[in-house]
Structure 1
Amino acid sequence: MQMKNCKASRRFSEDRSARGNKPRFDRLHSTGSNDESGTAGAGDDMGLADISPPFMATSPLTKSPWSAHMNPIEKDDGGGGFSPNVLMGSLVREEGHIYSLATYGDLLYTGSDSKNVRVWKNQKEFSGFKSNSGLVKAIIIAGERIFSGHQDGKIRVWKVSSKNPSVHKRIGTLPTLRDYIKSSLKPSRYIEVRRNHNVVWIKHYDAVSCLSLSEDKRLLYSASWDKTFKVWRISDFKCLESVKAHDDAVNSVVAGFDGLVFTGSADGSVKVWRRELQGKGTKHFFSQTLLKQECAVTALAVNEDGTVVYCGSSDGLVNFWDREKQLSHGGVLRGHKLAVLCLITAGRLVLSGSADMGICVWRKEGPNHICLSVLTGHNGPVKCLAAERDQESPESEQRWIVYSGSLDKSVKMWRVSELAPALQRGSQALRAPSMNRASSARLSVSPSFATQGGRISPKRS
C-alpha cells in the first residue's frame, strides 16, 4: 500500500521499535563483559540450527555463522544457466535490528540496536566492540579510524590495535571532553534548541542519523534529528561548524562534488550547501533547494563519478539530479511500494532498500535508469546497504557484493552484476522515469508493517 498521507505521519521514530522490543538472547551465549574500549566476543555461539545443504558437509564454511544460510553459487558453464544477481548468504543474530553497515577491505562492520558493532572477515565473525549507550545508527571508516554515530547524539571513534588486529579500541568521542568543557564555560557558545533550553553548539542533542566524508577524507559530516549537520576535522576531532539546516530532523547528509554538500530532511526538502575554507576552519553557505515536498526525505547518495545525486523518500520514490545539467531534475525511479529507507551507488548501479522489504537494483544508461532486479528475501524493512567490488569478477564483467541490513535482525549477502539483463514486464524492460509504479516490486512476502528509516514528523506549531 502506498503511503498517502505523508504530512500526517512525517516522523519515522525508529527508536520506538528499539525500545519497545528488547532483543532476545535465549539462543545466544553471553558475550562477556564488554566496555567501550574492549571487544565483543568474537567466538560467540550463534545458536542456529544446522540446515546446511549436503554439498557443504566438508566445507570449512560450516563453522561460520553464515554457513547455516549459505546458498549454492551457480557456475557459468556457458549454457546460459548463470544467474548474475543472487542471494549468497544470510547472517542472523538475535541481538537487535540492523541499522548500519560499512565495508573496508575484506572486513564488514555491522551496527545494531544492541549497541554492538560486529566485525566480519571472510564470512566469519572476526571481532567486535560495544558502546555503553546509544544504538549504532551509522558507521563510516576513514583510514585507520572507524566512526560510529549513535542514538544518544554522540559520535564514537575507534581504532584497530597495532598489537592485535581483532581488537578495536575506543580512542575518542565527538565532541571531545576537552572541547565540550571549554565551550560550556562560554555563554556565547550556547544555542537555544527549544524554549528555555540551551545546549552547547558543538554537541548533537538528538540522534545522529548519518555520517559522510568529504572528497579528500579530511572532514567528517554528521547529520542529526536535531535539525543540524556538523563539520568535524578528522585530524584532531575538532568541531569546525554547526549548521542549522532544516525545519525538521536531518535524515541524511552526503558530501558530493565541487565542494558541495547535500542534506535531506523530514521537512521534505533536499538542500545544497557550498563549502568554503576559511583559515583553518570551514564555512558552509546555502546554495539551493533541489526538492520541496510533503513526504520526508529519508536517504541521499551520489554516484561514484560524481555526476548524479539521488534522493529516496517516504513515498517510495527515488528522485535524481544531473550534475552536468546544473543539477536539473533528471527523473524519478519508481520501484517501491513503501518508504525508501537507504540508498547506495556501486559503479553504474543504484540500489534502494525499502520498508516493503525489497531492494531495487538499477543500472544507469545515459539519461535513463533500467531496473535489473528486485532482491527479495528479508522479512523486515531494509534499513541499510553496503557494497564492495567482487574480486572474482571476470575482466568482461563488473560484479559487486552487496550487503543488506534489516529490521528482521539479519544481514544478507548478494552478488549483483552490472551486466544483468533488465527486469522484464511483459516484453518491455522497465525504465525510469517512465515506468509505472508497483510494476517492479513484486514481493515474495507481503509486508506486515512499514517501518522506520528516518524521522517523518508532523509540522509543529
Structure 2
Amino acid sequence: MSPWNQTASPYTKSPWIAPSFKENLNCNGLIGSIVREAGHIYSLAAYRDLLYTGSDSKNIRVWKNLKEFSGFKSNSGLVKAIVIAGDKIFTGHQDGKIRVWKISSKNPSVHKRIGSLPTFKDFVKCSVNPRNYVEVRRNRNVLRIKHFDAVSCLSLNEEQGLLYSGSWDKTLKVWRISDFKCLESIQAHDDAINSVVAGFDCFVFTGSADGTVKMWRRELQGKGTQHFLVQVLLKQENAVTALAVNEESAVLYCGSSDGLVNFWEREKHLSHGGVLRGHKLAVLCLATAGNLVFSGSADKNICVWRREESGAHSCLAVLSGHTGPVKCVAVEEDHDRENKEDQRWIVYSGSLDKAVKVWRVSEHAPELKGFISPTPENGFTQS
C-alpha cells in the first residue's frame, strides 16, 4: 500500500467507499473509491466538483461530492476519452465516433446528445466529392473528415476554440468547437495515435505506437488554421502511450510502454530534460498539476513526482491500491484545504479493476508516521 494510503475499508454497500472521509479532510492519502461492476474504467474527466467516468459498458457516469449524480449512454463504442468545454462534453469512442453532449441549463443532472463529429450535414456535403476520400486499405476509401478506427484521445485548446482528436487510424483531426466543423485531417503517424495534447504557445504534441512524439505548430492560413510538423522529439522502439503538458513550467511529459517518463523543457528550447524511472510496466496515463506530475501504470501504481526549481524531479510517493492497470488519471485543485499556502490536489484514478480511486495529495511530503519517501535504492530515479 502507499505510504499515504489508509487501510482498505471493509464497507462495500455503497459504490463509494469512504468511511473516514470526514476525518481525513486534512490528511494526504486515499479518501474514497467507486467500485462499479458495469465495466472497466477507460477514461475520466474532472470539472469543478463533478467527475465524469467512461467505461466499456458505453456508459458515461457523473459523480458529485462522492455520490452518483447523473449519467448518459452512447449507442455503441466503449468510451476511450472525455473532455469538457463549458456546458459541452465530448466523448471519443472505440467505434471511431466523437459524440457531443450538452448539460441542460434547467437541470444540470440532465445531459442531452446534440450531435457527433463530423456532423451529418458535413458528412453528406463531403461525401459527394471524390476528392474528399482517402484510401486506407486496398479497395477501401473513407471520408477524410471521419475517423474510421477507435478515437483514442482528445484534447482542447479552449482559448482558440479547437478540439484535437487522435485515432488508431493514424490521423490527427482538428475541429472547431463553435460549429463542429473539421478544419484539418493530418496523416500524422505510421501507427496508432495513443495521445494528443494541446500545449503551450501554439504547439500540439502527438504520441504514437510507432514510438515517436511529434510537435506541430498551428499557423493562421487566411480565415482558417493549418498545422505543420516542427520536430520529432522522440523516436524509439517502444510505443508512446501517454502525453501531458505542464503549462506553467512549460514542460512536456511522455510515458512509454517500457515504463519510462521522458520530458522536454521549453525554456531550454524543448531539449530533452531527462527520464523519470519509477514503473516496472508500461505508463498508461499522465497528468500534471502545480509542480507535480502523476504517472499511472500497468503495474497498478501511480507515481507522484515533484519538479524542483532546478528542473530536477523527485518521486514523493507511490499511490497503490488498485488491483488492475491504472488507465486514466485526472487532477483538480483541493479548495477545502485549511492552509491556503499548502498547494493540495484531488487526484482521480481509473483502472481496469472497475474502480475509481480518489486521493488527496499535497505538494509537500506528508508528515505521516512510518512515511518512507521513494529513493534511488528502490528504483525511483531521474536520469
State the TM-score, normalizing by the size of structure 1.
0.77
Task: Choose which of 204, 212, 221 in structure 2 pairs with 1:261.
Answer: 204
Offset of residue 421 of structure 1: 5.2
Q: 2:380 matched to 1:415?
A: no
Partner residue in 1 for 2:163: 220
Distance 1:210 1:428, change over 3 A: closer
1:383 corresponds to 2:327: yes
Deviation at 1:192, TM superposition (A): 0.8
State yes or no: 1:65 paired with 2:15.
yes
Across the aligned residues of Structure 1 and Structure 2, the Cα RMSD in angstroms comes to: 2.2
- Offset, 1:124: 0.7
2:131 equivalent in structure 1: 188
Matched residue count: 369
Q: Deviations over 1:31-67 (max 9, x none)?
A: xxxxxxxxxxxxxxxxxxx9449xxxxxxxx8x531x
Gap change, CA 1:382 and 1:239, over 3 Å in 2: same
State how far apart, in whole Å, the 1-side matches of 2:374 and 2:133 are: 56
Measured against aligned partners, the alpha-carbon deviations of 1:349-389 in whole angstroms (never above 9, x if no partner) come to 00000000000000100210110010000000000001111
Opposite residue 364 of structure 2, the aligned amino acid is L
Q: Work out the CA distance in 2 between the residues paired with 1:350 and 1:118.
A: 26
Aligned counterparts, 1:11-410, within 5 A: 51-52=10-11, 65-66=15-16, 68-72=17-21, 84=28, 86-214=29-157, 216-365=159-308, 366-393=310-337, 394-410=339-355
Q: Distance in 2 between matches of 1:288 and 1:422?
A: 43
Question: Hey, what's the Cα distance between the residues in 2 that align with 1:160 and 1:195?
Answer: 42
CA contact (8 A) 1:388 1:401 kept: yes
> C-alpha distance in 2, partners of 1:309/1:358?
21
| CA shift for structure 1 position 258 | 1.7
Check the 8 A contact 2:24/2:31 in 1, yes or no.
Answer: no
SS in 1 for 2:15: coil
CA deviation string 1:165-221 (max 9, x = no partner): 111000110000110111111000000112221100000000001100115150000
What SS does the corresponding residue of 1:275 show, helix, strand or coil? strand
Alignment-mate amino acid for residue 344 of structure 2: R
Deviation at 1:163, TM superposition (A): 2.4
Residue 439 of structure 1 corresponds to: 379
Aligned partner of 1:459 in structure 2 is none
Distance 1:377 1:51 in 2: 14
User: Cα offset for 1:439?
Assistant: 2.1
SS in 1 for 2:125: helix
The verdict on how the C-alpha distance between 1:206 and 1:109 changes in structure 2, with shifts beyond 3 A counting, is: same
Cα pair 1:70 1:90 within 8 Å, conserved? no
Structure 1 letter corresponding to 2:279: H
Partners of 2:157 and 2:173 lie apart in 1 by 12
8 Å contact 1:341–1:354 — kept in the other structure? yes
* Partner SS for 2:340: coil
Change in CA separation of 1:195 and 1:422 when aligned onto 2, cut-off 3 Å? farther
Higher strand share: 2
Distance 2:102 2:160 in 1: 16
Question: Are the counterparts in 1 of residues 45 and 83 from structure 2 also a CA contact under 8 Å?
Answer: yes
- Shift of the 380–147 alpha-carbon distance from structure 1 to 2, 3 Å rule, reads same
Q: Tell me the CA shift for residue 280 of structure 1.
A: 2.9
Q: Distance in 1 between matches of 2:367 and 2:328?
A: 24
Residue of structure 1 equivalent to 2:3: none
More deviation, 212-221/367-376: 212-221
* Equivalent in the alignment of 1:45: none
* Mapped partners of 2:191, 2:379: distance in 1: 33
The answer to whether the 8 A contact 1:370-1:422 is kept is no
Q: Would you say the 8 A contact 2:317–2:373 is kept in 1?
A: no
Q: Give the 3-state SS of the residue equivalent to 1:336 in structure 2.
A: coil
The residue type equivalent to 2:295 in the other structure is S
Please tell me the residue identity of whatever aligns with 1:106.
D
CA contact (8 A) 1:251 1:297 kept: yes
Deviation at residue 142 of structure 1 after TM alignment: 0.6
Give 1:427 shift: 9.4
* Kept in 1: contact 2:83–2:90 (CA 8 A): yes
For 1:301 and 1:427, locate their aligned partners in 2 and report how far apart those are by CA, in whole Å.
27
The 3 A distance-change label for structure 1 pair 176 and 378 is: same
8 Å contact 1:256–1:306 — kept in the other structure?
no
Q: Name the counterpart of 2:5.
A: none
Q: Distance in 1 between matches of 2:229 and 2:44?
A: 30
Question: Displacement, 1:257?
Answer: 1.3
Cα separation, 2, equivalents of 1:406 and 1:169: 27
Question: Runs of 5+ in structure 1 lacking a partner?
Answer: 1-49, 54-61, 77-81, 442-461
- More deviation, 385-394/414-423: 414-423
Residue type of the alignment partner of 2:336: E
In 2, are the aligned partners of 1:140 and 1:212 still within 8 Å (CA)? yes
Counterparts of 1:129 and 1:224 in 2: how far apart (Å)? 23
Equivalent-residue separation in structure 2 for 1:101 and 1:272 (angstroms) = 25
What fraction of aligned residue pairs are identical, expressed as a percent?
71
Name structure 2 gaps, 5 residues minimum: 1-8
Counterpart contact for 1:231–1:242, Cα < 8 Å: yes
